[in-house]
Structure 1
Amino acid sequence: MKPQDLPEHRLSHSTGKVAGLLYSLCCYLCFLLTALYLMGFLSGIGVPKDIDSGPSLDWRLATLVDTLLITLFAVQHSGMARKGFKQWWTHFIPAPIERATYVLVTCLVLVLLFWLWQPIRASIWRLESAWTQGMLTGVFWIGWGVILLATFLISHFELLGIKQALDAWRSPKPENPTFKTPLLYKLVRHPLYLGFLIVFWATPSMTAGHLLFAALSTLYILIGVHLEERDLVELFGEDYRRYRQRVAMLVPLIKRKPDASSNQQK
């Protein structure tokens, strides 16, 4: 049977799936390019404009601009991830490409941040010895390794929208979400966020602008963790509550002690 002999709605449906997959792959490519630029933006390696370069404004105006940029990212990144927004959003964006669209919008907001970021070059610390510079630079790249590993432990391609577009072809049966704690998730509840905290703070040369970026991003992560854990408790119930009691949130060496209500439930 030739394509022109197929029913029109069936051909259109197949075309939509192809378009959705290509769109998701393009969004994934945007993510890879943005992630690479973020590495260079924070490290000052291989990018035309990093966190400490470019023309600068008065430090007070620069602080205001940079704070607004971080706030814009926080509102977009966290707001679009909430369940209520997703339910509203999928009235306009097909479900198979909803996650990819979220990834794309996040990338666009980050590109805006890279473009408009105002450096504040006042030095907070600067390590002079080669071994301390090398040590902190190594920690910085270890942080990126933690981030990459964490994404694969929680399904890298689902996190970034590729799996959803592929599922539109396979029509998989709905599955109840299974609570798992692979590898790093046995040490901390949010290794992905831990990796980001490492790369934000691990620098041998900390300027006031970099410090502002790191501090505001850390504040956003702490708020984001609270919102995410609320969603996870709703999704996994008692399994996640028990997990939260025995595993630290971000710092592996800090263990939480079960509270009285947990002991009574046992």
Structure 2
Amino acid sequence: MVLSTIISVFSLAAFAVIHSLTASLPFKRLLVRGLGSRAEMLYLPAYSLIAVLTILPLVYLLYKYPGRILYKIRSPWRWLMVGGQLIAAIIAPRAFQDAPHRFKIRSQLSAPRTPEAGSLNIRGIYRWIRDPFLLSGLVIIWLTPIMTVNLLVIYILTTIYLFLGSLHWETRLVAQFGDEYRKYQIRVNRIIPGLRGSVKEFD
């Protein structure tokens, strides 16, 4: 069981390295130099495909060697948790839809406060939470109704990775949008949705 846990951790580490590398600005600059204008169109589908392919070995390991069961949530609470996971799974595509300009390579590689960088343009789900991807990820993993030893270890490490990734992402957004994003940070929570920032404040 210890061996399966170690192998799972190494699989997660490999995924994290590849995921972070392909999301980095140096990698995107290299991509733009090699593909030109096509980089913008090809990057996100390729990035998503790489993420899926590199996470599959870990999913297989956790399915094949889950480890000792720590707890099982019974119905109806189990279905409430699964329902929460499904709702959280909707957040990610919604977040892409509400802020497509944040994920454009050209904008990310532009100098701060330039026309290419664009404006923050807060709308949709971002009016209530700054990082919906972090929230959806945490909800999906921690509302799992069956918890095993290996799952727990991987979930703890994944939570740390997601949290650090969120900090890095916000640092990049501050560099891209400057004081506009700093004011937004004061008004809206990063992880926990709230009404601290009025919807009208961002119109």
TM-score by length of 2: 0.78
SS of residue in 2 equivalent to 1:148: helix
**Does 2:147 match 1:147?**
no
**Relative to structure 1, is the Cα distance of residues 255 and 212 closer, same or farther in structure 2, using a 3 angstrom cutoff?**
farther
The corresponding residue for 1:184 is 125
The corresponding residue for 1:111 is 56
Q: Distance in 2 between matches of 1:69 and 1:93?
A: 30
Cα distance, 1:93 vs structure 2: 4.1
Cα distance, 1:175 vs structure 2: 4.5
**Does 2:150 match 1:209?**
yes
- Is contact 1:100–1:160 with CA below 8 Å preserved after alignment? no
**Does 2:22 match 1:80?**
yes
- Is contact 1:99–1:160 with CA below 8 Å preserved after alignment? no
**Relative to structure 1, is the Cα distance of residues 189 and 73 closer, same or farther in structure 2, using a 3 angstrom cutoff?**
same
TM-score by length of 1: 0.61
SS of residue in 2 equivalent to 1:80: helix
Segments of 4+ in structure 1 off by > 6 A? none
**Does 2:21 match 1:69?**
no
Aligned pairs, number:
184
**Residues 117-149 of structure 1: per-residue CA shift (max 9 Å, x gap):** 452331222123x22122112111111122232
**Relative to structure 1, is the Cα distance of residues 102 and 137 closer, same or farther in structure 2, using a 3 angstrom cutoff?**
closer
Q: Distance in 2 between matches of 1:159 and 1:62?
A: 36
For 1:122, give the aligned amino acid: R
Cα distance, 1:244 vs structure 2: 1.3
**Does 2:66 match 1:120?**
yes
Which residue, 154, 163, 188 being the options, matches 1:247?
188
Percent identical across equivalent pairs? Answer: 26
- Is contact 1:90–1:98 with CA below 8 Å preserved after alignment? no
**Does 2:79 match 1:137?**
no
**Does 2:181 match 1:236?**
no
**Relative to structure 1, is the Cα distance of residues 159 and 115 closer, same or farther in structure 2, using a 3 angstrom cutoff?**
farther
- Is contact 1:186–1:247 with CA below 8 Å preserved after alignment? yes
Give unmatched runs, 5+ long, in structure 1: 1-58, 162-173, 257-266
Give unmatched runs, 5+ long, in structure 2: 106-114, 198-203
Provide the alpha-carbon RMSD of the alignment. 2.7
SS of residue in 2 equivalent to 1:180: coil
Q: Distance in 2 between matches of 1:148 and 1:91?
A: 28
**Relative to structure 1, is the Cα distance of residues 160 and 143 closer, same or farther in structure 2, using a 3 angstrom cutoff?**
farther
For 2:131, give the aligned amino acid: H
